[in-house]
Amino acid sequence: MNKNLLFKALNNPLSKAGFIIIVVVFLLAMLAPLIAPYDPDDINVKVILIAPTWQHWMGTDGLGRDVLSRMLFGGRISLLVGLVAVGISTVIGIILGAIAGYYRGWVDTVIMRLVDVMLSIPSFFLILAVIAFLTPSIINVMIVIGLTSWMGVTRLVRAEFLSLSGREFVLASRALGAKDARLIFTHLLPNSLTPIIVSSVLGVAGAVLMESGLSFLGLGVQAPQASWGNILTDGKDYIQFAWWLSLYPGLAILITVLGYNLLGEGLRDALDPRSNLK
């Protein structure tokens, strides 16, 4: 990806809006220890289920904990899970996709049949089944989501390698005696980064949603550690009269996922070679 394409991507209206949202959410989460008005785990029975006030901008939960503080610290967990899980899946996808696309033959057949098998199983139910045998924790959630969501990246990388392997610069390097490792890491992989970046950005949104769903079901991040998903879980018992417990974490998930989707779609539009011809 050259500088001109990167500049165009960051100036795309969609990607710019998504980038701003992500930066704001990221800064709020990272600065949580400095800007959170209360300890997120501090229980105060005197202010149980207080509606939003000047003292508690997002109200309090069933244990008297400040919802704003828990939202800020919960954002750190949700974003961490998304980024680490996508990092794991991207690495696995790049390795398998590169092997399948470069060596082809029976290696490609085996890897792609494995991809087909994994895709035939609904991801959420697969993750639920795996988590059920493990101790629910943030580490296990990150690993399991990463290990069950690499198939899309694998198919993208394989397709790019198959397309690029017949290009003149690759054939010329091979004719000059370039080794497999040099061809893969110097010529093929760098020219396959665009779809990988777009897929990874969109994948973070999916991972955040997945973590929130698991935590909502009690299989993700465990109390008292806050995440947006388990804050929603606390809110479902009081949804008829404590609306803020469901509204604010729901909006946080919506805005964050929207930000990553806008950035991903904007990058796709800006970096699409067909759009560059217009």
Q: Partners of 66 in the beta sheet?
A: 60
Average pLDDT over residues 71-89: 90
pLDDT attached to residue 272: 61
Q: What is the maximal distance between C-alpha atoms in the chain?
A: 77
Distance, in Å, from the CA atom of 78 to the CA atom of 81, rounded to the nearest integer, reads: 5
Six-digit token string for 209: 């949603």
pLDDT attached to residue 154: 93
pLDDT attached to residue 273: 54
Distance, in Å, from the CA atom of 183 to the CA atom of 170, rounded to the nearest integer, reads: 7
| Rg of the chain (C-alpha set) | 22
Supply the DSSP symbol for 189: T
Q: Over 80: is that where the pLDDT of 169 sits?
A: no
Number of domains within the chain: 1
Q: Over 90: is that where the pLDDT of 86 sits?
A: yes
pLDDT attached to residue 277: 44
pLDDT attached to residue 8: 65
Q: Over 50: is that where the pLDDT of 27 sits?
A: yes
Distance, in Å, from the CA atom of 235 to the CA atom of 245, rounded to the nearest integer, reads: 5
**Total residues found in the chain within this entry:** 278
By three-state DSSP, how is residue 132 classified?
Answer: helix
Supply the DSSP symbol for 66: B
Distance, in Å, from the CA atom of 136 to the CA atom of 248, rounded to the nearest integer, reads: 24
Question: Which percentage of the chain shows pLDDT scores above 90?
Answer: 26
Q: Over 70: is that where the pLDDT of 23 sits?
A: yes
Average pLDDT over residues 208-229: 83
Question: Which percentage of the chain shows pLDDT scores above 70?
Answer: 94
How would residue 9 be classed by pLDDT, with cut points 50, 70 and 90?
Answer: low
How would residue 96 be classed by pLDDT, with cut points 50, 70 and 90?
Answer: very high
Tell me which residue of 52, 60, 53 sits closest to 234, measured CA to CA. Answer: 60
C-alpha distance from residue 189 to each of 43, 81, 171, 236, 274 (Å): 51, 26, 15, 46, 20
Average pLDDT over residues 32-37: 90
pLDDT digits (tens, 9 = 90+) for 100-159: 988 888 999 999 999 998 888 887 787 877 777 777 778 888 888 898 889 999 999 999
What is the extent of the structural domain holding 106?
A: 3-276
pLDDT attached to residue 267: 81
Distance, in Å, from the CA atom of 72 to the CA atom of 70, rounded to the nearest integer, reads: 5
Q: Over 60: is that where the pLDDT of 2 sits?
A: no
Provide the CATH number for the domain around residue 206: 1.10.3720.10
Q: Over 50: is that where the pLDDT of 28 sits?
A: yes
Distance, in Å, from the CA atom of 72 to the CA atom of 92, rounded to the nearest integer, reads: 31
Mean pLDDT value across the chain: 84
pLDDT digits (tens, 9 = 90+) for 220-269: 777 778 888 888 888 888 888 888 988 999 999 999 999 999 888 888 87
pLDDT attached to residue 278: 44
**Residue 141 contacts residue 188 (beta carbons within 8 Å):** no
Distance, in Å, from the CA atom of 271 to the CA atom of 76, rounded to the nearest integer, reads: 30
pLDDT attached to residue 211: 85
How would residue 6 be classed by pLDDT, with cut points 50, 70 and 90?
Answer: low
